[in-house]
Chain A
Amino acid sequence: MSSPRDGGTDWEMVIGLEVHVELHTRTKMFSSAPNNFGDEPNTNITPTCLGLPGSLPVLNERAVELAITMGLALNSEIAPSVFHRKNYFYPDMPKDFQISQYDQPICVGGWLELPQGKRIGIERAHLEEDTGKSTHVGGGGGRIHGSDYSLVDYNRAGVPLLEIVSRPHMNSPDEARAYAEELRAILLATGVSDARMEEGSMRVDANVSVRPAGTDELRTRCEIKNLNSFRSLGRAIAYEAQRHIDLYEHGEEPTQETRHWAEDEGRTHTLRSKEEANDYRYFPEPDLVLLNPSREWVEDLRARLPELPAQRRAALREATGGEAADVAAIVARGLDRLVRGAVAAGADPGRALTHAGHNLSMDGAADLDPAAFAALIGMEKAGDLTATQAKTVLAEMVDTGESPEDIAARLGFEAMDTSALEEMVERAVAANDAAWQKFCAGEDKVQGVFVGFVMKETRGQADGKAVSAILRARREASR
């Protein structure tokens, strides 16, 4: 991007994302307490969740499986890993330390491919436990400082998290959004997480810096927190990058710090500087043992990986020849299997993509029977249904599960024969002579008058394209 103030330097954004996702397990990371969002506060707890004296952590095997699954989906190496203690005092941390993987994470390296084709490197993904959730009541604007008292819900304490750290490979807010959205799509496809940003089961922090375009330097970065939607993510990055550019162009430099995105103000604020950073006194968690997944286990999980979004996009393009953006949108909405199934059953790929792209936004569309979808497209191609009728029938198919033939018959959608249509067009012309003169003079846009007339007369059952064709033929003949 280039600076609005200075045409001299072109700046390039450098963005890396740290994404925390809650793993979709039945129980917590180190205890048998249920992992359930939204329950009555402090009901999903055990002595371990509360860090009671004498309690011990026992690693949840399912959490490890989900971490490995995500690692495999991100093309990571699955490595022997170690849990550490991250020590700091905070009331929502029951033990006043957090169990987290540190310098030996379970997933090392890897990459994620954006729908437009760019590969974003993955640095690592590691397992850790979540903290409790604090609510600060009274003054202080929701912050601990200045509040009258605080309430802590330990239901979240010990919920398994996977922190996925990208390499600083994104160069625009759009790329960062695309990365986060693709990551979410993979999490959903694999069942690793329900990845709901609004419930906090997917939390994105952005590391942002800028550099002169064309260089590969890495300048001082700031970490932006409190990004609660993909939209916030894009806006915050754009704001922060511009802030850095402004500083550089005034001969100043940003300082490395953590900043808070204020959505209502549309800006970031200092949260804590590097100097204020805690000394976490990491050391290996002595209550847990080395986590060293066997080859067999990893390969078994690899074999059970579902088809991932990138593979689905590739397959859909191959099946339909569609444009990358259209294909990506259809995969994102989970309609690709329907389209591929219909095409395999003989449907016209173009019509299948068009319907999936425009006429199937309702719930349940993905469950449509591909063969029935193909049959509908066949009827449309054969001229038995108009495009408008096909759309109506499609909606009914999703709604009722009836066959397109039955629905068309029930709604009286039988294609009008051409002579009836021609007669209708004659009446339309007779009733709108002035418009007809304009049409003959070449004003194509007035043909809407005739099409509208015919549609009204037929209560929408006529094929608009057929009406246009008759009109044009009549004009040719009258010349």
Chain B
Amino acid sequence: MSAVEIAAKVRSGEWSAVDVLEGHLEAISAREDEIHAFNLVMVEQARRAAAAVDDAVASGRDPGPLAGVPLALKDNMCTHGVPTTCSSRILDDWKPPYDATVVTRAVEAGAVVIGKTNLDEFAMGSSTEHSAFGPTLNPHDTTRVPGGSSGGSAAAVAAGFSSLALGSDTGGSIRQPAALCGVVGVKPTYGLVSRYGLVAFASSLDQIGPFATSVADAALMLEVIAGHDPMDSTSIPRPSPDISSHLDQGVEGMRIGLVTELMEGIDPDVSARVHQAAEALTAAGAVVDEVSVPATLYGLTAYYLIAPAEASSNLARFDGVRYGLRVDGPDTAEMMIRTRSAGFGDEVKARIMLGTFALSAGYYEAFYGKAQKVRTLVRREFAAAYADHDLLLSPTSPSVAFPLGAKADPMSMYMCDVCTLPSNLSGEAAMSVPYGTGAHGLPVGVQVLAPAMGEVEMFRAAAVLEAAAPSDHDGEEGRS
């Protein structure tokens, strides 16, 4: 259900926030057992919040731009007094004593937090199969993954469990599941949205962003959570941008580059949709050409050194001393070893070891140091591309949703992020917009990339693509 519509009708008193919530809770009752989008559905808290929104409206106060809109939170965002697990055993029963900045802002804007969504443990993965609490399934086909790591949030929006959701994107963890679940997913410019209260995976890459069923809903959500936060030193000291009022301005005269390197190794059903999207943008008055950004090819390697290196340090604090799981041992060191051995899943352990190695004396320069140089190169080449382009275009994911267990080999799983992670390395904005379907009638996402703080132009192009997107049964060449 559209967030823009809910908020407008709840604010005007036409709809009740409680009714809106109950409708979503019914959808959850109907299919959540099958999908497993949530780690926790906050039924009672949500009912109280919705009632409070209705009370505000009844007493003439404006609950805010997200009045009564159900919102699902990826379970790596801190919620005061509500378990925050990161889908890991190691955070067993941990209840944060504080709210993440995005949670505070969303609640102050009238959103009704409906639950905490499943993810790959500590956001490490591209399928939501690496959750300590079991996988989330794709609402379009429950034999398939929803993508990841924010698979629970993507599935919750796609299944109609929640109008909006927040995810975190370190290498594509919002955009790839958005593409696989057929919803809009946005990774904003690094620093546009506060990370305070987001359990860190890789601090220099992590960014929170919205999932929505429409471009306008995503814009509304982003406007609420964006803007400077003094609690995050990397937060950009600017107010939240006005995106919504520019959505209908089109792409007339914009120069948009299709990234050559990101079209390589892409499934034909997906690349066909991306070419159609390019044509749609051209038809809307944009000048679309091909542009080469060769460093994106090295992005994957650099990413899989930088992200694990930062993760190895960020996840060190889970040592059993102060909170979460503790497995006792004869001494402190052994207690820490047993706790971490029992508390982390295999994928997390693999990345911690990889990152520890990449930072070790004697290897630092060859691995972490070199990866940082590649990162600089990626930034420089994007800057060159943006010198004569307003936006770039690519697939979001190389394929449509794949079956559970299909990518048991880590390298094939890591390849899922090849199109998305360059934007994390450069710290720039990118979003995935549904654009028809591909193989098996499954959703395809097209990625619009923008330079830092280029959200307004990015959303304008996304709105054009949304309007031009083929409906479910249009021209599905790849459908089996």
Contact = CB atoms under 8 A, between A and B. Distances in A.
A286 B204 contact: yes
7 contacts: A51-B322, A53-B96, A145-B331, A152-B321, A281-B360, A286-B234, A287-B200
Contacts of B319: 89, 91, 96
Contacts of A281: 312-313, 356, 359-361, 364
A58 B230 contact: yes
Interface in B198-252: 198-200, 202-204, 230-234
Contacts, number: 100
A85 interface: yes
Contact of A279 (B199, B204, B230, B360): B360
Contacts of A449: none
B332 A52 contact: no
Contacts of A11: none
Contacts of A238: none
Given A281-B356, A281-B359, A52 B77 contact: no
Given A89-B316, A281-B360, A56 B233 contact: yes
B333 A54 contact: no
B344 interface: no
Nearest to A288: B233
> How would you classify the secondary structure of chain B's contact residues: helix, strand, loop or mixed?
loop
Nearest to A86: B313
B317 A51 contact: yes
A127 to B, nearest CB: 14
A54 B233 contact: no
Interface in A18-52: 47, 50-52
A91 B326 CA distance: 13
A54 B364 CA distance: 26
B379 interface: no
A59 B313 contact: no
Which has the most chain B C-beta neighbours within 10 Å: A51, A91, A283? A283
B91 interface: yes
Given A54-B78, A54-B196, A58-B230, A89 B336 contact: yes
A287 B368 contact: no
A32 to B, nearest CB: 9
Contacts of B351: none
A87 B78 contact: no
Interface residues of A, number: 31
A230 interface: no
Interface in A253-293: 279, 281-283, 286-289
A59 B97 contact: no
B233 A283 contact: no
Contacts of B317: 51, 53, 94-96
B360 to A, nearest CB: 6
A439 interface: no
B94 A287 contact: no
Contact of B316 (A97, A145, A150): A97
B25 to A, nearest CB: 27
Interface string B63-87: 0000000000000011000001010
A78 B114 CA distance: 51
Contacts of A52: 78, 96-98, 323
A57 interface: yes
Contact of A87 (B313, B323, B331): B313
Contacts of A288: 233-234
Interface string A67-104: 00000000000000000010101010011110000000
Contact of B199 (A54, A150, A287): A54
Contacts of B428: none
Interface string A91-120: 100111100000000000000000000000
Nearest to A50: B322
A87 B359 contact: yes
A59 B317 CA distance: 20
Interface string A331-371: 00000000000000000000000000000000000000000
B309 interface: yes
